[in-house]
Structures are given as C-alpha cells and as structure tokens.
Amino acid sequence: MAKKFNELFKKMSPERQARINAKVKNTLKEMSLAEIREHHQVTQENIATILQVKQSSVSRLEQRSNVTVERLRDYAHALGGELEVRIIIDDQPYPVNLKSESEEEQISAS
C-alpha cells in the first residue's frame, strides 16, 4: 500500500525536511508565467479572450523578461488571481501598494 507523503515527511530528519522545504520554496519562486497558466489549466487563447488581445500577444508576454506591472496585473486577473509585489530587505518583506486611485475608490465603495 502506498504511503502518503505527509507520513513519510514526518519521519524524515529535520535537516532533510528543511532541504525539501527549501527546494519547494525555490521551485515556486521560479515559475514562469506560462508554467503558472498551465498549472491552472488555462490556455493562451483563454487569456487572450479575457484580455481582448491575440493569442500571439499572450505568447510574447509569457516569453518577455521585461513586463510592465500593469500587464502583469491584467494577466493575473485573467487567471483569476491578484498581483502582489514585495520589496525584501534583510529578509523582511514589505508589500507594495500598486493599486490605482480608481481601484482604491472601488474598494472603499464596496
């Protein structure tokens, strides 16, 4: 009978658990836009329809290394998510508020 990973994980040494957790954390940090989209089983065509652009535009966006915050926010919303930006100084994360004034007004009105 197959054992659940959590059961095996609990039996591992703290050092091994830490190494595994670090690998998982690092892997999550390194996901590309395309990998995130594919993980959520969304196609480029789906994103393109929501963003009202061509599929080729979504493909180019996913391959670029220099993307505007606005474009990333739109992409995240098309996936049903939110864009979160943080600045990390000395391991201390500082969330950055990038909402426009109109978005802040919409939140206040809700």
Place of tokens 């995130």: 36
75 located within any domain: yes
CA atoms within 13 A on the CB side of 14: 0
The pLDDT value given to residue 65: 84
19 located within any domain: no
Contact 87, 96 (CB under 8 A): yes
7 located within any domain: no
1 located within any domain: no
Q: Which domain does 91 fall in, by range?
A: 33-109
The pLDDT value given to residue 10: 87
pLDDT tens, residue order, the chain (110 aa): 566 878 888 889 999 989 888 887 777 677 889 999 998 999 999 999 999 999 999 999 999 989 999 999 999 999 999 999 999 999 898 999 987 666 555 555 65
Q: Which domain CATH number covers 101?
A: 1.10.260
Q: How many domains does the chain have?
A: 1
22 located within any domain: no
17 located within any domain: no
The pLDDT value given to residue 91: 84
Q: How far apart are CA 106 and CA 110, in angstroms?
A: 6
Q: How far apart are CA 17 and CA 19, in angstroms?
A: 5
51 located within any domain: yes
Q: Specify the amino acid at residue 69.
A: V
86 located within any domain: yes
Strand partners, 96: 85
pTM of the entire predicted model: 0.64
